[in-house]
């Protein structure tokens, strides 16, 4: 990603080891786009990734970008990861074990 810096928490880095290249690229594009838009990422954020952005960033044809994004979105929707952390509202309590999905919903045209 040329000069775009993406900073990820260790939990996210460890979880991303199980992702395919196109899935990682999709997540990185989402992070960069969220930062550039100024909206950030929350649990209810909607992030839009365009095939033209993917094609330009990763030097692939637009057709290859559409195919890669469709496949990555579908597989990413099914993926989950696990992490352990204290609850923010109750830091004095023991560590809780969480299961999370990378995305809560997908759509493509």
**52 falls within a domain:** yes
pLDDT more than 90, % of the chain: 35
pLDDT at 4 over 80: no
**77 falls within a domain:** yes
**84 falls within a domain:** yes
Chain centroid to Cα 32, Å, comes to 10
Q: What total of structural domains would you count in the chain? A: 1
**1 falls within a domain:** no
* pLDDT for 102: 86
Tokens of 34: 């969220």
* pLDDT for 108: 83
CATH of the domain at 17: 1.10.10.10
**109 falls within a domain:** no
3 vs 86, which has greater pLDDT?
Answer: 86
Full-model pTM: 0.74
Full residue range of the structural domain in which residue 35 is found: 10-101
Contacting residues for 92 by C-beta, under 8 A, at least 6 apart: none
**2 falls within a domain:** no
**5 falls within a domain:** no
Residue pLDDT, tens place only, 65-108 = 999 999 999 999 999 988 887 777 776 778 888 888 888 889 88
**48 falls within a domain:** yes
Q: Report the phi/psi class of residue 90: left, alpha or beta, with left for phi > 0 and alpha for psi in -120 to 50.
A: beta
């Amino acid at each position: 990603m040329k000069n775009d810096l993406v900073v990820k928490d260790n939990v996210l880095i460890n979880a991303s080891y199980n992702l395919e290249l196109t899935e990682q690229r999709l997540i990185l594009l989402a992070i960069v786009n969220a930062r550039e838009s100024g909206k950030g990422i929350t649990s209810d954020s909607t992030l839009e990734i365009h095939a033209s952005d993917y094609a330009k960033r990763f030097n692939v044809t637009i057709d290859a970008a559409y195919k890669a994004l469709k496949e990555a979105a579908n597989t990413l929707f099914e993926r989950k990861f696990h992490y352990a952390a204290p609850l923010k509202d109750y830091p004095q309590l023991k560590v809780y074990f969480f299961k999370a999905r990378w995305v809560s919903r997908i759509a493509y045209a």
